[in-house]
Amino acid sequence: MKTSRKQSMGAKIFSICLWLYALVSLYPLLWMIFYSLKSNEEIFVSNPFGLPATWQWGNYVNAWTQYDVPLFFKNSLLVGAGTVLVTIFCALLFTFAISRLRWPFSRSVRTYVALGMFIPVQAIMIPVVQTVNQLGLLGTRWSLILPYAAINLSFATMVYFGFFQGIPKEMEEAACIDGANIYQTFLHIIAPLVSPATITIVIYVFLASWNEFILANVLVGGVAKLKTLPLGVLFFQGQFTTDWGSMGATMTIASIPAILVYVIFSEQVERAMTIGAAVKG
């Protein structure tokens, strides 16, 4: 589109709009980081909008030592890692079986799991809580890990399925002739070949579980020692006037890992988040 290289009046106004929206998109975040470094006096009276005049790093110390932030952080990390491991393990084995192995009904079984793409998490929240309770998982981290993994399986298997289809049949044939059994073939030949898909799924599932609120709220909302960061952040709800600085610090700490993952792997994150479009559409 070479035509737009000429900076006409219209193009200038257009570029101002782009900058304005970038401000709308980023300023709330900057404002949060600013106030995480301010005193209440600065936030409300002397300097609500700009950079902190005196940088109150103490807010971070407060958040870390007085508000259980390390615990929330650890829970989020363990639940995220657990969900990723369970999802990858199940989805990789399953997709190998439905796409490479020969057996009746493999198509129907694939469709069955794909149905999950159309089931809203909100709608199954009540039965999920009851199932978790019946299995005796309430009060453990598995109460989050297993439902999270189950919900992500439809997505993960569909992403893997697309990848598996691109691998030539000769891979298994060669491995078979070389005397490898089916398990060895899977582990040493096929699994490494689909690692780009694995990376996409790891990023997607980790971010989804790191930020998940709806199920966490009803499954561990009442269990202080298992709360993840999205629930921990809400601790400050209703007590705004007391300690805004520490609230800002907690929210900033909760956001840093996801933002870092995005800034480092931006291409992969965007692909991981939007690949759902291709598999759903």
Partner 1 sequence: MKRYLSNPLAIILFITPTLGLFTIFVFSSILKVFYYSFFDWNGVGTAVFTGVENYSKLFSSSTFATANANGFKFALVITVYQLFFASIFAIAVSDRWMPFRKFFRTAYFIPVVLSVTVVCQLWTSILDADNGLLNALLRAVGSDSRQNWLGSRYGAIYALAFVNAWQWMGYQFALIVAGIKSISTEYYEAAEIDGASATRAHWHVTIPLLKETYFFCLLVSVTGGIKAFTEIQIMTGGGPGTATHTLTYIMYRAAFVSHRYGYGLAAAAVLVLECLAVILLLNYLFRDREAKQLRRLAGGKP
217-246: which residues touch partner 1 (CB under 8 A)? 217-218, 229-231, 233-234, 236-237, 240-241, 244
Decide: is 108 part of the binding site for partner 1 (CB under 8 A).
Answer: no
Buried b (16+ CB within 10 A) or exposed e, 199-226: ebbbbbbbbbbbbbeebbbebbeeeeeb
Distance from C-alpha of 209 to C-alpha of 153, rounded to nearest angstrom: 13
Q: Does residue number 247 form part of the binding site for partner 1 (CB under 8 A)?
A: yes
Residues 50-79 binding partner 1 (CB under 8 A) are none
Among 37, 69, 100, 227, binds partner 1 (CB under 8 A): 100
Question: Stretches 50-58, 65-73, 102-110, 187-195: which one binds partner 1 (CB under 8 A)?
Answer: 102-110
Residues binding partner 1: number (CB under 8 A): 100
Q: Which member of 32, 81, 85, 199 binds partner 1 (CB under 8 A)?
A: 32
CA distance 42 to 230: 27
Per CB under 8 A, contacts with partner 1 among 170-209 are 172-173, 176, 182-183, 186, 207
- Is there binding between residue 138 and partner 1 (CB under 8 A)? no
The reply on whether position 147 binds partner 1 by CB under 8 A is yes
**Residue placing its CB nearer to partner 1 in the complex, 65 or 266:** 266
Which residue among 16, 44, 65, 224 contacts partner 1 (CB under 8 A)? Answer: 44
273 binds partner 1 (CB under 8 A): yes
